[in-house]
Amino acid sequence: MTVPTADLETLVGSARPLVESDPELEMFLSLPPGTAGKGSGAGAGFPEEYRRVIEISNGPLFGRVVIFDERTAADMQDWIEQSTAGSEQELDRRTWFCAGLVNDNLLLLNLSSREIWGFPGVDRTWWIDGRLVRLAGNLDDFLTGTVFSARNYADLVGDTTEDHWLELLRRLEVQGGSR
């Protein structure tokens, strides 16, 4: 089931004040303003679901999950294609859009299926391991159902020792604002 992006906007809106009011969280997390209403033509040429995310928050840092800001995303599309050429796991920009990182490994949107894929594991490096797996049915589901769920986020990132995003999610759960 696809969760509407409005839910993501509500979740980010609930988390942002907690981050901004806690100096320690602010050092490790970031929920910058989005591009909506700025007339920047944000993400022109990017997949629609990615554009919707950066309209809400352009370059959020959810602990060990990063969604690239529009400038970094533009740079990454050429980089992934060049860096994987000739490797076991070639990634081309006609098939994949690099939306961010999980545990410093690529977070990819399949441009045909709209599914989210990545290279899971804390102790693995994507260009060495190369085990690409499906993480979610789409970007909205990944963010609202995995990144904003304490249990699912912990399962995704593995080691949660001193994880500030997980701490924030637990605060939101206590307040009744997260799953």
Crossing angle of the two packed helices 164-174 and 5-21, in degrees rounded to 10 = 110
For 91-109, the pLDDT digits (tens) are 788 899 999 999 888 899 9
Integer Cα distance of 178 and 172 in angstroms = 6
Please state, for a pLDDT cut of 70, what percent of the chain lies above it.
79
Please give the pLDDT value at position 3.
40
**In terms of Cα–Cα distance, which of 106, 102, 31, 101 is closest to 93?**
106
| End-to-end Cα spacing for the chain | 15
pTM of the model: 0.86
For 34-93, the pLDDT digits (tens) are 988 665 555 668 999 999 999 999 999 999 999 999 999 998 988 777 766 666 667 788
In this predicted structure, the answer to whether residue 146 has a pLDDT above a threshold of 50 is yes
Q: Which residue has the higher pLDDT, 14 or 81?
A: 14
Domain boundaries, the chain: 5-81+135-174
Burial profile 51-76: b = 16 or more Cβ within 10 angstroms, e = fewer: bbbbbbbbbbbbbbbbbbbbebbeeb
- Average pLDDT of the residues of the chain: 85
> How deeply is 150 buried, as exposed, middle or buried, from its count of CB atoms within 10 A (0-12, 13-18, 19+)?
buried
Lowest mean pLDDT among 24-38, 123-137, 147-161: 123-137
* Type of residue found at 114: R
CA angle in degrees (0–180, nearest 5) for 18-50-12: 15
Crossing angle of the two packed helices 164-174 and 150-157, in degrees rounded to 10 = 170
Position of tokens 């920009």? 93
